[in-house]
Amino acid sequence: MEIYQIKSVIDTFGKQFNIDQCGEECCELVVAINHYLRGRCTKEDVLEEIADVRIMTQVMLEMFDGENGYKVYREIERKKMIRLMLRIDAEEQHKIDNPRTLCNAIKSRALDELCDAKQGHA
């Protein structure tokens, strides 16, 4: 969506309408995801709701941080991505620290080494 289109949406419908509309589109996405998980709608139905939400979040970004060139949003997003990567690292570490997972990893590594050794002698 181009910036002129986003501004046109804001100018035409106003801030309050767009805030309400964003909330409605987010709710519709939640419903579509739940229906998809229950086999009551298709991936395309979910994608349609994702498109609506993405359009509205672009409008919200312009309304809430457009005058700053999205600096505040970009900083928040950067911090959240760092936090997410740290959570992934912690999850990976948990898998290693878990005795059962560690045991399985050792068995798998030993099996790989055994297979490599056999291939080297063949």
| DSSP codes joined into one string, 47-63 | HHHHHHHHHHHHHHHHH
My answer on whether 52 and 96 are in the same domain is: no
Residue 77: give the domain boundaries: 70-122
My answer on whether 46 and 1 are in the same domain is: yes
My answer on whether 4 and 36 are in the same domain is: yes
My answer on whether 23 and 33 are in the same domain is: yes
My answer on whether 52 and 103 are in the same domain is: no
Using the predicted structure, report yes or no on whether residue 106 has a pLDDT greater than 90. no
My answer on whether 48 and 87 are in the same domain is: no
My answer on whether 18 and 58 are in the same domain is: yes
Question: pLDDT for 42-92, tens place per residue?
Answer: 999 999 999 999 999 999 999 999 999 999 999 999 999 999 999 988 888
Q: What is the mean pLDDT of residues 27-44?
A: 98
My answer on whether 57 and 80 are in the same domain is: no
Note the helical H segments in the chain. Answer: 3-13, 15-37, 43-65, 71-97, 99-121
